[in-house]
Amino acid sequence: MTSINEIAEDYVARYVELDPQFATELGVAGHDHELTDISLDGFAERNTLTASTLAAIRALEPADGNERVAKEAMEERLALTVERYEAGDDTSELNVLASPFQSVRAVFDQMGVEGEENHANIAKRLAAVPAALEQLKATLADSAGRGRTAARRQVLACAKQAKDWNGELGGGSFWTGLVERTGATGAVRGDLDRGAEAAAAATADFGRFLTEQLLASAPEKDAVGRERYQRASREFLGDTIDLEDSYRWGLDEVARLRAEMNETAARIVPGGSLKDALAALDADPSRKVTGADNFRAWMQEKSDAAVEALADVHFDIPEPVRRLECMIAPTHDGVMYYTPPSEDFARPGRMWWSVPEGQTEFSTWRETTTVYHEGVPGHHLQLAQTAYRKDLLNRWQRSMCWVSGHGEGWALYAERLMDDLGYLSDPADKLGMLDGQMMRAVRVVVDLGMHLEFEIPAGTDFGNGVDHGGERWTPELGWEYMTTNVNTTEAQLAFELDRYLGWPGQAPAYKLGERIWLQSRDDAKARKGGDFDLKAFHRQALDLGSIGLKPLREALERL
């Protein structure tokens, strides 16, 4: 192989053979009956491939500007992947949202449930769950023996998830619900039922392993410290940031957003407070949708309208990218998320809402901005357009590179852009956007603060009149700060707190990424002056694909 792009294409082709779950995500046929090897040997084999690819990339000079961007992006990502493996980060990973434990379950969400071939693949993959979870138990036990174990909070939360997936906490079993959705009959139904039973038993056994074995070696302290945090921050941003500066900026951003929220609230309830405005909106029946199916239909309608309004006006949106499906997730975690289309677009991009158990009412004023975040011009436009640009991007760039600061930063940038373009002219929708932005700004403060145990500046507004100046952040103070500054349910906040503590560096990537996107746009305006064109800037920026924020800035400066 004599080019960067050839090496990139070969890397993806070889990687999907080692990671069947990733193959399902891409829509690569032939692997939907398998689960990824998450034993120590499996992690080692994938790292060997990554390390050899990194060496090959470093040995070549790019042929043109596009290959230069590809090389810079691959060097940054692959080098960090190897570094994380050598530090034991991936083989010890256990958290409430994005660790190998969740991936074993979540891969089924990407599979079709209709037709004999899909039924057979689901049955075989269900039957493989016990072996996969046995592998994960051995991997985590080995890491624990080396002194690397997730904090006690994460171990207990994942054990609770195991019970939830099995329907032990009041909801239905994910495994039996999956089988029922297939509508299969005959012999394959028997295979599916047996697979679901085996998967449920293995999930329960894994939950017991967590509480009866792994918990004993789990540290009480949630904070991961500077060395691991800086590495995690680089993973999610693709750049090395000044942690203290980012912490101070987060505190300033919380104060700025609070002032803007108060100003917007006064437009909703003249003379009233933010609490008054929130209460008025929550009591307004015209701003509610009842029933999950009706809420899915509302999301779809809102998404379709955004695509129609923005295409060919503010963005270039290729025809295959104009299709986005809104879905109700088969789980009840309380999060909204996006999954990209398959490489051939046979499976479209999808926006998912994981409805909490028992929730039947949905506030549209809170979620209008979320539709823009997950759909268009947010994640769907960014990721589906990347998948579409085979003329500019190699397969690794299109399908394998994902940097949270780039992607989540773009999605937050997209929310603010929709306000700038007039799509949040209703002050209720504007307040919903600001409310979401506030949560992301609070994340910067508490994530950095709790993991690095930063000192709290005097006068920091906790919203309850208590001055904790001079104290150092703890999960308890993080909870206090969140509950007084973020307007959502305590159940959702509890999940958020567990997420931050178990996934260091990820939550701040939203606002820190948005900060860099805004800076990059302002820099482009300054360079081009009167020749600056916003639509052209968006097209050129998205045509770079998902990329670390450092190579993003460097590539944009060359445009």
Residue 150 has pLDDT above 90, yes or no: yes
For residue 10, name the pLDDT band (cuts at 50, 70, 90): very high
Helix (H) or strand (E) holding 339: strand 336-339
How confident is the model at residue 429, as a pLDDT?
97
How confident is the model at residue 559, as a pLDDT?
77
Most confident option among 4-13, 311-320, 347-356: 4-13
Angle formed at CA 366 by CA 363 and CA 367, multiple of 5 degrees? 90
Mean pLDDT of the chain: 94
How confident is the model at residue 166, as a pLDDT?
97
Residue 206 has pLDDT above 90, yes or no: yes
Residue 112 has pLDDT above 80, yes or no: yes
Average the pLDDT over 532-558 and give the result. 90
Q: What is the pLDDT of residues 494-503, one digit of tens each?
A: 989 999 999 9
3-state secondary structure of 11: helix
Alpha carbon distance 94, 222 (integer Å): 13
Range of the domain at 209: 4-222
Where residue 52 falls (left for φ over 0; alpha for ψ -120 to 50; beta otherwise) is: alpha
Strand-pair partners of 352: 327, 337
| Owner of token pair 């690794």 | 396
Q: Is 147 within a domain? A: yes
3-state secondary structure of 288: strand
Alpha carbon distance 109, 178 (integer Å): 9
How confident is the model at residue 101, as a pLDDT?
98
For residue 355, name the pLDDT band (cuts at 50, 70, 90): confident
Helix (H) or strand (E) holding 324: strand 324-328
Half-sphere exposure of 493 (CA within 13 A, CB side): 18
Tokens of 78: 């692959």
Spatial CA neighbour of 444 closest among 259, 233, 207: 233
Q: Is 18 within a domain? A: yes
- CB within 8 Å of 487: residues ≥ 6 apart: 278, 435, 438
Residue 189 has pLDDT above 90, yes or no: yes
Helix axes 509-528, 226-237, angle to 10 degrees: 50
The model's pTM: 0.88
Residue 243 has pLDDT above 80, yes or no: yes
How confident is the model at residue 214, as a pLDDT?
98
Alpha carbon distance 323, 86 (integer Å): 41
Q: Is 551 within a domain? A: no
How confident is the model at residue 369, as a pLDDT?
95
Residue 305 has pLDDT above 90, yes or no: yes
Q: How many domains does the chain fold into?
A: 1
Q: Which of 35-44, 238-247, 305-314, 332-341 has the lowest mean pLDDT?
A: 332-341
**β-bridge pairing 336-339 and 349-353:** antiparallel
Average the pLDDT over 167-176 and give the result. 92
Phi, psi of 337 (to 5 degrees): -150, 170
Bigger pLDDT: 103 vs 170? 103
Q: Is 482 within a domain? A: no
Bigger pLDDT: 314 vs 465? 314
Residue 336 has pLDDT above 80, yes or no: yes
Q: What is the pLDDT of residues 23-75, one digit of tens each?
A: 999 889 999 999 999 999 999 999 999 999 999 999 999 999 999 999 999 99
Q: Is 81 within a domain? A: yes
Tokens of 405: 């600061």
Q: Is 454 within a domain? A: no
How confident is the model at residue 356, as a pLDDT?
83
Q: Is 232 within a domain? A: no
Average the pLDDT over 475-481 and give the result. 96
How confident is the model at residue 558, as a pLDDT?
84
What is the DSSP track for 28-59? Answer: -TT-TT-----SHHHHHHHHHHHHHHHHHHHT
Alpha carbon distance 100, 526 (integer Å): 44
**β-bridge pairing 288-290 and 361-363:** antiparallel
Q: Is 150 within a domain? A: yes
How confident is the model at residue 9, as a pLDDT?
96
Alpha carbon distance 310, 324 (integer Å): 14
Q: What is the pLDDT of residues 398-450, one digit of tens each?
A: 989 999 999 999 999 999 999 999 999 999 999 999 999 999 999 999 999 99
